[in-house]
Amino acid sequence: MALTSSSQTKPNHHPFFLIQFLLCITIFSLTISTNVVALTTTKEQELDKITSLPGQPMVTFSQFSGYVNVNESHGRALFYWLTEATNHPQKKPLVLWLNGGPGCSSVAYGASEEIGPFRINKNGSSLYLNKYSWNKVANILFLESPAGVGFSYTNTSSDLEDSGDKRTAQDALIFLTRWMSRFPQYKYRDFYIAGESYAGHYVPQLAEAIFNYNKKFSHPIINLKGFIVGNAVTDNKYDGIGTVTYWWSHSMISDKTYKKIINFCNFTSEKSSKKCDESVSYAVNHEFGHIDQYSIYTPSCKIMQNETNLNNNNKYVRFKNTIIHRKLSGYDPCTENYAEEYYNRHDVQRAMHANVTGISYKWTACSDILLKNWKDSDDSMLAIYKKLIAAGLKLWVFSGDTDSVVPVTATRFSLSHLNLKIKTPWYPWYSGNQVGGWTEVYDGLTFATIRGAGHEVPLFQPKRAFILFESFLTGKELPK
């Protein structure tokens, strides 16, 4: 516009015209160079580029995977997998996805059975496309975190026995800053964090770490805009009460057992009493029956039904025993087995630039050693929520309503103690002509349920989860 308007005057009559002209040329050149950076790859990126995965259908988007060192002295390196947006990736936001556990793989769950572009066939030999992949609207970065999860590794064995919330957040922050040096086109890009389950800790903790880190810079490279978490571990006390309430209200336990748990269990204590453990153990082993606790109305995988042990040292796991060894549920409850078959193939690992150091153990969806030795776990995320809401970040929390592990009642009990002002009262939201769930919008936070979804919402209700995610990115309320 400046060039057009200026061209209507004579340059020799207006000396300032030359300055205007040169300024416009400079801006135009910078715009071109910025676009070139966004559309080209560096040498480091080329080394991480995935040409094609074994058994993969043809796709139009680019993929990259590999390692980023986060601690040289200990030899800790985190494995990532980037699936760029299917259209105009240079214009789409970057979303980091984290799974929980603690100790479970974002490649196994988020990428392979929830929001990623591919699903794994039953024999682990090939892939097929996910119709509702989230990379249709964003660039999705999957991270196996912390070290010891999936392909991520450490050369210091003691790291596997003293992992915890604080180090996980710090390593993830270091990963992001170093990853963006490798992928400079994502610097300053709108950035969001997403995840589920114990990532209810990872996601807000990392968001807070980024927020604090960004204070050091006038123009930070990690342009954090907000986060979205599902079936998220939020507050030990309110999650515990809400979980037992869900069991009782969904007829999973008797009135007698419900009263015992409420009376004997101290939901704020580091250690549980013998009577509490006995009451919970009785509910799980004698009253639940052979159900998938992550999806109480769908069939469970018979291969994985023998997991009943309790971990008395972890107050979260105390009420959610099956998280000690993740069970997978859904329309195909054994899908986790297909991931373990596929990602242990040498040709798959070569294609993904994974296991380059020759890890001495098999790739697994979850790491038991991390879960059993988790050292620090904050009691509550509510203070972080308040801090980030005050900072103006966009926060969404969602809940599949057939999950009994981190159920909708747990999340609602926890969020209610934020005491947020209601902006848009509770209403049913729609996917097509069907109710997709229910939602309420507060000043600073949106809460939504996904009807008929278990713990891994995008696995059970992929279309509804996609609508939810797209609404989150655009900042629009869920469709009425």
Q: What is the mean pLDDT of residues 372-381?
A: 93
The residue from 133, 152, 367, 455 that is catalytic is 455
Domain boundaries, given as residue ranges, for the chain: 2-39, 46-235+377-474
The model's confidence at residue 251, banded by pLDDT at 50, 70 and 90, is: very high
Q: Which CATH superfamily is domain 46-235+377-474 in?
A: Alpha/Beta hydrolase fold, catalytic domain (3.40.50.1820)
pLDDT average, residue stretch 136-158: 97
pLDDT cut 70: percent of the chain above it:
85
Percent of the chain with pLDDT over 90: 79
Residue 295 is a catalytic residue: no
| pLDDT tens-digit readout, 40-75 | 678 899 999 999 999 999 999 999 999 999 999 999
| Tens-digit pLDDT profile for residues 283-335 | 999 999 999 999 999 887 765 444 433 333 333 343 333 332 222 223 455 67
pLDDT, residue 123, reads: 85
Does residue 440 have a pLDDT over 70? yes
Q: What is the mean pLDDT of residues 258-266?
A: 94
| Residues contacting 468, CB < 8 A, separation 6+ | 396, 398, 436, 448, 450, 457, 478
pLDDT for res 114:
97
What is the structure's pLDDT at 271? 78
- Indicate if 48 belongs to the active site: no
Report, as an integer, the average pLDDT of 368-373: 92
Q: Please confirm, yes or no, whether 112 is among the known catalytic residues.
A: no
pLDDT (average), residues 407-422: 98
154-175 pLDDT tens trace: 999 999 999 999 999 999 999 9
**Which of 197, 279, 404, 471 is the catalytic position?**
197
pLDDT tens for residues 125-135? 899 999 999 99
Q: Which of 152, 403, 404, 471 is catalytic?
A: 403
- Find the mean pLDDT for residues 425-434: 97
Residue of higher predicted confidence among 14 and 150: 150
